[in-house]
Amino acid sequence: MQWSDVLSDRSLRDLPYKIELDKWGNVVMSPASNRHGRLQGMLFAMLDKLTQGRALIECSVATPEGVKVADVAWCSDAFFDRYGYETPYPRAPEICVEVRSPSNSEEELQFKTRLYLAAGAREVWIVLESGEARFFGPEGERTASETGLDPRPLLNH
């Protein structure tokens, strides 16, 4: 299955799941909670305030392991000028954020982090529903985001 097939499949619309494709074209679904959706919105609002770029929710990225969908992403104006709303993006935006759902394992999130970084992301955030956040760059885990933003105080409400 290709991503265009997923987008046009009426049976996959309005599901309470996040849909991705694995490297074989199989649909992978993850259930999301209301807290998950709230965190996505809060992270979007925070990232959308960064200058010279824009934030996106449910940002699809083509990777060697299939299409992955970052819960929130931030792309520079230069990225957006080049790719617009191409779906899925052929490379990752500069910042990709995953909000950990109860169904996500640590291994899955580390795997997706590596995929986003390999696809061109400068930074990946992993945010837990508890409000904790971790930041990763090509060199590994960081103590803080290179943006200077810290979502943790905002997310603990």
pLDDT tens digits, one per residue of 81-118: 999 999 999 999 999 999 988 778 899 999 999 999 99
Tell me how far apart the alpha carbons of residues 3 and 63 are, in angstroms, rounded to a whole number: 12
Tell me how far apart the alpha carbons of residues 152 and 130 are, in angstroms, rounded to a whole number: 9
pLDDT, position 157: 62
pLDDT tens digits, one per residue of 22-68: 666 666 656 667 787 889 999 999 999 999 999 999 999 999 899 99
Mean pLDDT (whole number) for 124-128: 94
Q: Which helix (H) or strand (E) holds 73?
A: strand 66-76
Quote the DSSP letter at residue 89.
Answer: B
Q: Residue 145 pLDDT > 70, yes or no?
A: yes
Structure tokens at 15: 């599901």
Domain map (residue ranges) of the chain: 32-155
11 pLDDT band (50/70/90 cuts)? low
Q: Residue 15 pLDDT > 60, yes or no?
A: no
- CATH of the domain spanning 32-155: 3.90.1570.10
Quote the DSSP letter at residue 45.
Answer: H
Structure tokens at 69: 């969908």
For the CA atoms of 34, 38, 43, 48, what is the dihedral angle to 10 degrees?
Answer: 120
